[in-house]
Amino acid sequence: MPRPRVRPADRQRAPKACVTCKVSKKRCDANLPCALCVRKGRAESCTYPDVDEKGRSSRSRSPRTSPQPPRGRGVLGPDTFTRASELRERELESESVTRESSPQCSQRPTMLLSSRGEQVYIGNVAALSFLQFLQKTLKRYIGPSAFTERRRGETMLEAEVQNNSTAQFQDGLDTDQKHDLVRCFMRVSNGILHLFSEEDIHRLLGLKAVQVDHLNSNPQRDDFAFLYLMIAIGAQCRGSSSAEIKMAARYFARAQQVAFVDMLQDPSLAMIKIFLMMAFYMLGACRRNTAFMYIGIASKAATILGLHIPYQNARASAEQRAVRRRTWMSLRVLDLLCSSILARPSSTPTIQGDGYETEDVSNDSRDHRTLALRANYESSSIIDIIVQSCTKSSNLDIKSAENYLQMLREWSQALPEVLRCSPKPRSDNRMLPVLDSRETTIGNIHVSCTYYFGVILVTRQFLISRVMSQLRDRNPSAPSEGEAVKTSQFSNGCVSSAVFMAQLCSEASRNNVLLDNMCLLKAWLFSAGLVLGFSLLVEEEDWPNARDAFTRTRETLQKLSRLSPQAQQYYEILTRFSSAIELYKKQLLARQKSTRNPFVEQIMTFEEGASSSWQDGIQSHVPPPGLLRTPEPSVINGDEVLGLEAGDLGYQFDMPPFATQIGDDIGLQWMWDNYAMQLPNFVTSWDEAAQQSLGI
């Protein structure tokens, strides 16, 4: 008997294999070059036999090499860069056989549509690619659902930005209002951007408003752009009212006009800062592609100015060096973190070594913003190496994963204590927007979440392998005992990182530490939520807190959705994911019940809720002796009609004594005569023919 045809979407094997995999009888993923040839360093020789119209193999196609991402760079010193370089070489040249991955267990890059219908690239380790993998996987087990049927799944969410370029701009805020909004900016950007010192903030708040027509020619034009962008970001993140959100758009539009005046003629530090802040605003406004373009402009300007190397001018003051260093680090952190979320190549140039790590910065190391920025500067560079490695090969081998986790562990162990704890709240009435406890805590949260996110990127594929093997109730790769232990450890680490991130952000949200628009935190939370939901598909004693953490993630995203359409979309996706998980659990339980005894099967069952629906219909009731239930009349237009309510056949009355002492026929005749007297008028007005046909 021939096997039934399998739909292309349900295939567990690729429909074709390259020549090398076919000869060696290895599973191929049908890519060009395939993942196995890339891992074994023979991408150039990966070819497929051409097939003619009759399905016969004719000749091999010429190979096409996949574009290679730029080489990674380490910022933890020469040892880190050497270790990362050797690791990448080993991934391409190693001939050891690693765990083979089927198409169902690997994440693939994808193309989504922008708001204008253009295709945009999303890398294979992005959360959106993992989401598509989950949707396809669950659809095989539970069928179509609100989660598996990807509504707008091929379109990248991009909110419309209000255009205020033609509106008349007026700077109507007083100094106190500006101070509060600038403080919101300093809070939400701690650990990501460090562009201004406290003295700079004090000077910017002291600027006097000028007429709009004279602003473009004003020598303080860049300073006004700085101030307006800080106000716009602060209002966007606080969003206390709809008027404040509109005000944020007005201030941003005005700063954008200033930035675009002669922007490509004279690159400067001010230009880099302005475009970094505009990118930060666009991330909060759910315009990630626009933010990437702004970061690219800032990156090119930074390369022209040589910010990627320490300033070599001996006459430069310590403050000038610090400004260049902070600007470059801010650019690097924002670029690498944004690129890693969507698994895209970064914009900042490749550096063989980083002189900023060996530069003496003892004077400003006491500043918390500098400490948080430097910590994320290092962690984001490790994450960039991980993303590049995963881009080359969809699956990491165990040795590579161990090395990356060791790099993250060494980074975390070197963190100072001030970045590990939550400071106690304190009041500060100073005019300067100095660091407060909320700002410090948000900076520490950003530092912690970069670490958790990096661990998730390394270990997620091992979680996929472990969960999928249990869903299929088999182990297709038959790993060795040592490999199985490592897979279990890595998958536990993936879930634990997601749990820690969810718990940290949940506690911060419940204590009103977070602002209502956190441009990077919502993306990290969504990635953690997908991992937690995926782990709930199987029962594991190693993940006791996964369900609670999954609920916390949704609650935090729901709170952030007040000002962020992107967080709202993340919350809705995870909510549908939760419903799909429950549906899968119910179906699994039903299958387990039906297969408990191989010799007996259940023929018929009532669906859940069927009893209540049956009560809505007509049922036959057998009244107890001496008690008869009759319909209770109801009134319509002044006449009494027969009213049957669900589960009630009317009032009760006792039959007369003689009715219980004589035959049934006499008793029923008495009841019928008594009941006929209560019929409404329209019943007794039937025509004679109808009454005779009914036997009345």
The contacts of residue 643 (CB under 8 Å, 6+ apart) are 631, 632, 633, 634
Q: Given this model, what pLDDT does residue 588 score?
A: 85
Structure tokens, 4: 């039934």
Tell which residue, 262, 250, 295, 254, has the closest CA to residue 277.
295
Answer whether 287's CB lies under 8 Å from 316's CB. no
- Of the segments 38-42, 150-154, 623-627, 651-655, which one has the largest average pLDDT value? 38-42
More confident residue, 122 or 84: 122
Other CB atoms within a 10 A radius of the CB of residue 273 amount to 24
The pLDDT of residue 250:
92
Tell me how crowded residue 312 is: count the other CB atoms within 10 A of its CB: 8
Name, of 183-192, 359-368, 418-427, 582-591, the range with top average pLDDT: 183-192
pLDDT at 115 over 50: yes
Exposed/middle/buried for 422, CB within 10 Å: 0-12, 13-18, 19+? middle
Maximum average pLDDT range among 73-82, 257-266, 568-577, 592-601: 568-577
pLDDT for the residue 184 = 96
Q: Give the pLDDT mean for 204-213.
A: 75
- Cα angle for residues 268, 272, 274 (degrees, 5° grid): 110
Residue 664: per-residue pLDDT = 46
Q: Is 60 exceeded by the pLDDT of residue 144?
A: yes
> Mean pLDDT over residues 553-575, rounded?
95
**Per-residue pLDDT, 75:** 39
pLDDT above 90 as % of the chain: 43
What mean pLDDT comes out for the span 116-135? Answer: 90
Q: What is the pLDDT of residue 590?
A: 80
Query: What are the structure tokens assigned to 278, written together?
Result: 């505009």
Residue 17 carries which DSSP code? -
pLDDT at 540: 80
Q: Binning pLDDT at 50, 70 and 90, where does residue 476 land?
A: very low
Rounded mean pLDDT, 124-146: 90
Among the listed residues 112, 31, 573, the one whose alpha carbon sits nearest the alpha carbon of residue 342: 112
Backbone angles phi, psi at 603, to 5 degrees: -80, -50
Rounded to an integer, what distance in angstroms lies between the CA atom of residue 14 and that of residue 355?
47
pLDDT of amino acid 59: 41
State the pLDDT at residue 475.
52
Q: What pLDDT is attached to residue 181?
A: 96
Q: Do 355 and 310 contact (CB within 8 A), yes or no?
A: yes
Dump pLDDT digits (tens) for 364-403. 456 899 999 999 999 999 999 999 998 887 778 899 999 9
| Contact indicator for 267, 305 with CB cutoff of 8 Å | yes
Which of 138-147, 326-335, 592-601 is predicted with the least confidence, judged by mean pLDDT? 592-601
Average pLDDT on 585-593 reads: 81
For 595-606, write each residue's pLDDT tens digit.
666 677 667 766
Q: Is the pLDDT of residue 95 over 60?
A: no
Tokens of 46: 């990966």
Give pLDDT tens digits for 479-537: 667 788 999 999 999 999 999 999 999 999 999 999 999 999 999 999 999 999 999 99
Please, which residues bridge with residue 636 across strands? 639
Given pLDDT bands bounded at 50, 70 and 90, which one contains residue 111? confident
- The mean predicted confidence, pLDDT, of the chain is 76
Q: Region 151-165: what's the mean pLDDT? A: 67
CB proximity list for 483: less than 8 A, separation 6 or greater: 99, 398
- Residue 231 pLDDT more than 80? yes
* pLDDT tens-place string over residues 616-665: 544 444 445 444 444 444 444 444 444 434 444 344 444 444 444 444 44
Spatial separation of the C-alpha atoms in residues 293 and 282, rounded to whole Å: 10
pLDDT tens-digit series, residues 54-82: 444 444 444 344 333 333 334 344 444 44
Is the pLDDT confidence value at 577 over 90? Answer: yes
User: Once rounded to an integer, what is the mean pLDDT over residues 201-208?
Assistant: 91
pLDDT tops 70 at residue 124: yes
Q: Output the CA torsion sign for 271, 272, 278, 282.
A: positive
> Which comes out higher in pLDDT, residue 89 or 147?
147
Question: What pLDDT, on a 0 to 100 scale, did the predictor assign at position 518?
Answer: 95
pLDDT at 695: 52
255 pLDDT higher than 80: yes
- Which carries the bigger pLDDT value, residue 88 or residue 33? 33
Instruction: Identify each DSSP E strand in 552-661 by its residue range.
Output: 627-629, 632-636, 639-643, 652-654
